[in-house]
Copies of this chain bind each other. A is one copy, B any other.
Amino acid sequence: MQKEQIAEVLARFPSLAALTLEEWQEEGISITTVPANFTIDEGEFLENAPLILDGLVRIFKLSSDGREVTLYRLSTGECCPLIASSILGETVYEASACVEKPSMVLNVPTKIYKKWIEKHQGFRQYIFQSFARRLIIMSNLIDDIHFKSIRVRISEYLIEHTSAEDDSLAITHDQLAIELGTAREVISRTLKKMEKEGLLRVARGQITDIQRSRLPAVQ
């Protein structure tokens, strides 16, 4: 690892500030770019723990009949708690990962990763906070799936992925369906209804004119 590289990593992971130069020079630490659609399948053995410097990685589960649930996504400055837990708990990595946007990743051999966590309080805290966030987000996901209608879940997704400035979203019904763990037809039908009510407009691969303020927020 070169000095400029280290500086770049530290900009995204300030919790690694306490590492010495010798620690950075250990065998196996590297930065790689991973192309979109690169996939790691459930059950694979991992030699390196990734820290995401840039890009977007989706972590998901495959069901027995080949469908997917998105568990969470990782982007700049994030680690994968499931990988961390599998390293620290010495269990298999029980999910799949798919690179959605070309990503830049700091690869840390699992042994070194473990050592960092044990040795450096700042990094340890960072990892724990990631766990915390993830458990809460996952329980909220369970909550959502259980208690919210798709209409509300779609609305919330739209609100979260648009802004006051940009009231449109480039996404296909299929993508949105995978996103929310439902079927494409359900998305199509619901969007169509919402269009009839004047809450938004649908076009091929795009949702426009999203009336953020009028979308149902609860129930």
- A→B interface (CB under 8 Å): 61, 63-65, 67, 69, 71, 81-82, 84-86, 88-91, 94-95, 118, 121, 124-125, 128-129, 131-136, 138-139, 141-143, 145-147, 181, 218-219
Residues on B with C-beta less than 8 A from A84 are: 128
Residues on B with C-beta less than 8 A from A136 are: 82, 85, 91, 94
Residues on B with C-beta less than 8 A from A139 are: 61, 71, 82, 94-95, 138
Residues on B with C-beta less than 8 A from A218 are: 64
Number of copies: 2
Known contacts A69-B146, A69-B147, A82-B136; can you find 12 more A-B pairs with CB under 8 A?
A: A61-B139, A61-B143, A67-B146, A67-B147, A69-B142, A71-B139, A82-B135, A85-B129, A85-B135, A89-B129, A118-B124, A145-B146
User: Given A69-B146, A129-B89: A219 and B138 within 8 A (CB)?
Assistant: no
CA A101 – CA B219 in complex, angstroms? 33
Chain B, Cβ-Cβ closest to A60: B139
Residues on B with C-beta less than 8 A from A135 are: 81-82, 85, 131, 134-135, 138
CA A121 – CA B117 in complex, angstroms? 11
